Amino acid sequence: MRQIDYKARQAKLLVPEIVEPLSQIHELKGAQNSLLAAKPDALSHLLEIAKIESTASSNKIEEIFTTDNRLKQIVLDKTQPKNRSERELAGYRDVLKVVHENYPYIPLKPSYILQLHKMLYEYGGKDYGGKFKGADNVISEADEQETRKFRLVPVPARKTPDAIEKICAAYQDAVDKERLDPLLIIPLWILDFLCIHPFGDGNGRMSRLFTLLLLYRADYQVGKYISIEKIIERTKENYYEALEQSSYKWHEGENDDVPFVHYMLGVILAAYREFSEQADMFIGQSPSKPERVREALKASLSPMTKREIAKQNPDIAEITIQRALISLVQEGAVMKIGGGRYTKYVWNHEKE
């Protein structure tokens, strides 16, 4: 196991391509905190949307899917999972909820990592939930043609508990004792976690959950309102490329941390920028859910189905959308096209 020295590694990160996004995030963090202090309730709908998108996207990266309607019901805890994919989605939902609500009380220690991993598999009946890997594993990713893109041999199973202990202790020393910038140390820790690959399954999802946990504990709250997992899923090719570049010669302690740290800072910066855009729409006025249905149709250049409206507004219940559409059609603001499951709705601009 290589030596873990986050202070020395941080010093090598003080290059323009890292310092620039770092400075921008610090500025945007202050703006977000001011908004949340002034209007905490006005942004509650963003929180609900982010929960759904985070659960969907983090699992989608691992090829775990369900329908949009089932996903929404599972995240809102309104149904029981029916199959393996839905059980894994439910597990992620529960861990995400714990991270959101209890992050001040979850220190970065191996015992807590194991507890959260066990919760991730609570519905699946898997006996490896909450246990470090029992056999050596290999990280490999393939492109659409099934050609392997990169390969990494992680830390051996017998050395994994000690490796996790070391990176947790090193993180606490770096952030608590050395007072190093957590925005630089968090991506380093996540990189080390992925290179150790401590579990037989669930490493990617756990890395994203711990990204949120560590950001929250460092008072970077943007992941509650904008799905960081969705941004990663949207840019997963860049994610794998950065991981490949920064994991090369990791065991020897000769790897280049810059690509992965640069990528992760880009994700966090994108989340803050998206938050600013979304907050501008709602901070001055918090529209009701029927009003948001109205605005979705008014802004659309083409007719929309109920499903399309629901996909844009995953926190709005189907019955609420249905009632809003009935009301809009009755007042003549919206025109109904077709019937049955293919019914579409379009804004009546002549009525304006």
CATH number at residue 325: 1.10.10.10
Q: What is the pLDDT of residue 42?
A: 64
pLDDT averaged per 10 residues in sequence order, the chain, 352 residues? 92 95 91 72 80 95 91 89 93 96 97 97 84 88 55 90 97 94 98 97 97 97 94 96 96 96 97 84 67 87 88 81 92 90 87 66
Domain co-membership, 32 together with 86: yes
Q: What is the pLDDT of residue 231?
A: 96
Decide: 265 and 244 in contact? Cβ < 8 Å.
no
Last residue of a domain, one of 263, 282, 301: 282
DSSP 39-103: -TGGGHHHHHHHHHHHHHHHHHTTT----HHHHHHHHTT-S---SHHHHHHHHHHHHHHHHHHHG
Say how many residues make up the chain: 352
Q: What is the pLDDT of residue 283?
A: 57
Q: How many CA atoms lie within 13 A of 303 on its CB side?
A: 11
Residue 232 falls inside a structural domain: yes
Using only C-alpha atoms, the chain has a radius of gyration, in whole angstroms, of: 22
Q: What is the pLDDT of residue 35?
A: 73
Domain co-membership, 316 together with 277: no
Residue 306 lies in domain: 289-351
